[in-house]
Structure 1
């Protein structure tokens, strides 16, 4: 089954659990990135805190870069789990 195919996550209880865990991680990173940008934006209103705001913008940007990385890691994990099932089926025959 190809990457990013919906059926990969619905294959069994293990794939559903892996999918759910990655979705929780993705959502957590999303909230952290948004929070970093919001706080960074507020800090930019104060001259003395602009450097801290700049750092939070960098952290938020890095977190936004983590999101597609999590998605790819999830899909590779689900894909590999399918390959393991195929191996089991071949040995059972």
Structure 2
């Protein structure tokens, strides 16, 4: 059961744009975190680069923490618009 489905948010044109913007931000943060972890891992092979590698891991960790934060912000927007029906369906697993 996917928690977030685009079909549930396509009531209005602005919703599709808003949803797409959040998905783009989510994917950008996800890729950034992965790249930072790869770079940090490579830097750990050299003693001279370990401090920089540690910073890459730390920044990548913040990116991973930002991912669920973006989803919560998006869902709160629907709560602000009184879209409780869709939120209840996601909680119950109904489509």
TM bracket, shorter-chain basis? 0.7 to 0.9
Higher Cα Rg: structure 1 or 2? Answer: 1
8 Å CA contact 1:8, 1:15 repeated in 2: no
**TM-score normalized by the length of structure 2:** 0.76
Q: Runs of 4 or more off by more than 6 Å in structure 1?
A: none
- Superposed CA deviations along residues 37-85 of structure 1, whole A, max 9, x for unmatched, are 000000000110000000100000010000000000011113323x39x
| Change over 3 Å in CA distance of 1:5–1:41 after alignment to 2 | closer
- Structure 1 runs not aligned, ≥5 long: 85-93
Indicate yes or no: 2:75 matched with 1:78. no
The answer for the alignment partner of 2:65 in structure 1 is 65
Q: Aligned-residue CA RMSD in angstroms?
A: 1.7
Higher relative contact order (CA 8 A, sep 6+): 1
The structure where helix makes up a greater share of residues is 1
**TM-score normalized by the length of structure 1:** 0.78
The answer for the alignment partner of 1:22 in structure 2 is 22
- Give the number of aligned pairs: 80
Note the C-alpha offset of 1:21: 0.3
- Structure 2 runs not aligned, ≥5 long: 84-95
